[in-house]
Amino acid sequence: MNRVIVIAGPTASGKTSLSIELAGRMNGEIISADSMQLYKYMDIGTAKPTENEMRGIKHYLIDEVLPSEEFNVVKFKELAEKYIKEIVEKGKQPIVVGGTGLYISSLIDNINFSESECDWELREALKNEAEEYGSQYLHDKLKKVDEESADNIHPNNVKRVIRALEVFYQTEKPMSYHNEMSRGIPPSFTYNTIGLTMDRQRLYERINKRVDIMIKNGLVEEVKRLVELGFADSITSMQGIGYKEILSYLKGKSTLDEAVEIIKRDSRRYAKRQLTWFKRMKEIKWFSIDNYGNNHNVAEAVINYL
């Protein structure tokens, strides 16, 4: 069975640079498990690696779809497994890297999210309910029929709340049941999962600094260009952290300083949620960046562990 290296952890913890360092030393190619980096034209706000940073290493699931295209964990799993096979067939080392916990879990736990087909009418009706009564109303509805999924899904993540309700209404069984069933089937590959962490305060400082760099590098201009290209603020991709706040600023609803502070705050909260998700995964071997001086040393420790 072929081995796949997975690098997980919160935003701004150094996952991208470590993955590139490892790929360079292990004849690897990289598959992104980031739900925002897969969108074209969204580079600065997603902290997408530049051509220079990629160092000639092939990356997959970056610039995969247009911001207006629908993308979900089912498509991610299907494409990620396809790309893993392609990399293995080339005799190279697949490295999956990203902070989207659901994407990573779908591979490691072999979760089958496609038990039921999409019911667009039901989905639209639930979406309307969320708009009329609020996201908490819909989340409470889910809690009544699938408490486990409700505990794992944030009330503001309306898209996933709707999907969980859709699965229940179509199969009369909670999504958590389907996930548990699919976990019993072993994955096609052996996954070695590395988790990056660091002192919480230091991580928050890195997040704040990263946001300042994004603004300096032209995040406002990037969002303006997306609007000019016709990507409306109602689409999922434009609701990502960094994009919705700048959109609000461009509409005159806030100052740029206020928008920046909200991006920093929401990015810190997101990092906290990511850590909570990954800490539940028993398979992760954690490496604290605080114990190593640089990426080279972290890579050395990871290779020794592997």
Residue ranges for the binding site for substrate? 11-16
Copy the structure tokens of residue 194.
């590395």
Reported as type and span, the H/E element at residue 3 is strand 3-8
Residues 179, 120: Cα–Cα separation, whole Å: 22
Instruction: Return binding residues for ATP.
Output: 9-16
How many residues in total does the chain contain?
306
Residue ranges for the known binding site are 9-16
User: CA nearest 43: which of 219, 215, 213, 216?
Assistant: 219
> What residue has token string 């603004």?
215
Asked if residue 135 lies in contact with residue 155, where contact means CB atoms within 8 angstroms, the answer is yes
Angstrom CA distances, 17 to 20, 152, 299, stand at: 5, 29, 10
- Facing residues of 30 across strands? 59, 95
Contacts of residue 64, defined as CB under 8 A and 6 or more positions apart, other chains included, come to 38, 39, 40, 71, 79
CA angle 137, 141, 145 (to 5 degrees): 165
